[in-house]
Amino acid sequence: MDQFMERAVELAADNVRNGGEPFGAVLVKNGNKVTEGVNELHKRFDITAHAEIQAMRKAQKMMHSHVLKGYTMYASGEPCPMCLTAMYYAGIDQIYYCASSEDAVDAGLGKAETVYEELKKPKSERRMELIHMPLQNGQEDPMQLWKEHTD
């Protein structure tokens, strides 16, 4: 097993011993560890405090940038939809994972699998209602402002 994956799994096991969930992550660039993280939902009372996102936040804060192009994530578990989306947005190039989402379901951690299933459905059939509210007449359009700003 790769040294970075070994570390991610070690972080996950330590996190379980410390009252957290079995997830650890190591963010790497050019063969060097940049940051690492563990699930800290139980400490931060923050549903987004997943291992991968914690590692990304640390790196982004260090670099004063949200871009992680050229980075590789090593995660003890297959990333959930939220973490996967964050990694896409940050531009991470590769993700290695150890335990699959099916392994997580077997361990009683099946939320990610439920979200993946929900996202396959049309918006109208999802459990969580998603309601479009267009701009009011005369209301400034932030998207148009952005287009003008970036032109």
Is 52 catalytic? The answer is yes
Residue 40 CA to residue 57 CA, distance in Å, equals 13
Report the alpha-carbon distance of residue 122 to residue 82 in Å, rounded: 18
Query: Residue 148 phi/psi, 5° resolution?
Result: -65, -40
In sign, the C-alpha dihedral spanning 1, 75, 120, 112 is positive
Burial class (CB in 10 A: 0-12, 13-18, 19+), 51: buried
Catalytic residue among 21, 40, 52, 78: 52
Do residues 7 and 33 make contact, with C-beta atoms less than 8 angstroms apart? yes
What does each C-alpha distance from 88 to 33, 71, 81, 85 come to in angstroms?
20, 11, 10, 5
Catalytic residues: 52
